[in-house]
Amino acid sequence: MGQRSILTPVIEIGNLEVNAPAVMYNLYSEPNRINAIDYSVTCGLATADGCSSKNCSAPTGIIFLVQDIPVYRPASLITHPVKLDDGSVVAVATTVHNWDTVLSSSINEQVSGLTIVLAYGTQKYYTFTVEEGAVTFVQEGDHHDPKYDDRRYSFLTTSYGGPERFYVHLYPSDTWVSLYENELPAVVCGVTVGILVLTSLIFFFYDFLMNRASLEKDLILNTKRQFVRYISHEIRTPLNIVQLGFKLLYSEMFTLSATLQSQLPSQSQSQSQLENNPQRVELSESFKDWLGLVTDISDSADVAISVLNDLINYDKLHMGTLQLEIEPLFIWDIIAPAVHPFLIQARHGGVKLVTDYEDHRDSASAEEKKLMRNHIVFGDSGKLCQVIRNLVSNALKFTPSGGEVTISGESSH
């Protein structure tokens, strides 16, 4: 029997209408309770701090409780010593654990088809079933389906002291297999993997297209830059030479024209003398026409070079290397050279190009010259000329033959 000669009658039992037969029942008289009581009492006597420094609680073996009549429900008592200040153990407090209730609290209400085998001691088993989260005791012994032995999952239920250790073994049943082991998980897994693969392919394809578009964009920009460099090297240089040649030709022709002009008879000479030199007069007039033609060609070369400069600036703008040279400028000095190259274009298009400039530097009064600083604009002369050229070019482009384009520069005081 037990280690001690003690008596542990049941004093407080709860509902007496149900548990009256257990009142004054000696717990120390039943083998399944003796080991737990001995452990708790020994532990309580060995500690001097009210058992706070050591776990003195212990579960009993499977017992039969009076309040469960007529339905048998495996249960255990958790014992704990009750001590006085002098360290003596005077009683044992117990707590009832029905195993079906304990197991139900640990299982989700949607679980069905499990077989639970509660094991303790040597060859002591109790079988339960699970339906919609509710655990029901079946019978004593291990009654799980042997074909699911390889799927058993086991664990220790409590960490209490004492000699008793309870293990729970979980087994699936045919109901479990029919509910949970079907093709649906594989289908869901396949669909999920398929979606992931399809999404990855879409992203890879999108990334491929974006990289391709980026490469094409870079190729286009590089082609533009190479084109601009080609124009700058292969066209602009010859145009500069052509422009320089025409300016030299104009200088020589102007000198020759001045020489011929000096050889012409003066107004004081008679009409008969002029009539004696008709070829010289005709030659002088022809030189004036040639000088005008050379001037027009030189101006056209200036326009072509300006267009090339615009292309080079466009390339610099895309490369982020375009820089502005800001300086004080007279707006009238910007308009005149920007408009002059379009005189030939206007003449050939039958458009009357009227310019109305004010040269304040030459005609300004002393008071106006004093206010000159108010007529200065700050900007890049090349870019301002480019803006004015674009405006005049568009005006000539959309003006029909016989029309008129007026460019005026006026100062405001």
Q: Is 346 in contact with 403 (CB distance < 8 Å)?
A: no
Which among 111, 33, 135, 147 has a CA at the least distance from the CA of 79? 33
pLDDT, residue 197, reads 95
The pLDDT tens digits of the residues spanning 216-253 come to 988 887 887 787 777 777 777 777 787 788 778 778 77
**Residue 65: which residues within 8 A CB-CB, separation 6 or more?**
22, 73, 75, 96, 98
pLDDT, residue 200, reads 94
Q: Where are the domains of the chain?
A: 16-180, 216-322, 324-413
Separate counts of helices (H) and strands (E) for the chain: 13, 12
pTM of the model: 0.46
Q: What is the rounded CA–CA span in Å between residue 287 and residue 243?
A: 19
Q: What sign does the dihedral 384-389-395-397 (CA atoms) show?
A: negative
pLDDT, residue 387, reads 85
Q: Does domain 324-413 have CATH number 3.40.50.2020?
A: no
pLDDT, residue 270, reads 47
The pLDDT tens digits of the residues spanning 192-224 come to 999 999 999 999 999 999 999 999 988 887 887
pLDDT, residue 255, reads 78
Q: What is the pLDDT along the chain (413 residues), one digit of tens a residue?
A: 667 888 888 888 777 777 777 788 888 888 888 999 999 998 888 876 654 445 789 999 998 887 777 888 999 999 999 988 888 888 999 988 899 999 999 888 888 899 999 998 878 999 999 999 899 999 999 999 999 999 999 999 877 888 888 999 999 998 888 877 777 778 888 999 999 999 999 999 999 999 999 999 888 878 877 877 777 777 777 777 877 887 787 787 777 767 766 665 554 444 555 455 555 555 556 666 777 777 777 777 777 777 777 677 766 776 677 777 888 887 777 777 788 778 778 888 889 888 765 544 455 555 554 455 456 778 888 788 888 888 888 998 899 998 999 887 665 55
DSSP state of 26: B
pLDDT, residue 274, reads 47
Q: What is the rounded CA–CA span in Å between residue 201 and residue 360?
A: 72
Q: Is 96 in contact with 75 (CB distance < 8 Å)?
A: yes
Pairing label, strands 352-356, 404-408: parallel
Inter-CA distances, 410 with 69, 253, 358, 364, 385, Å: 118, 36, 7, 13, 16
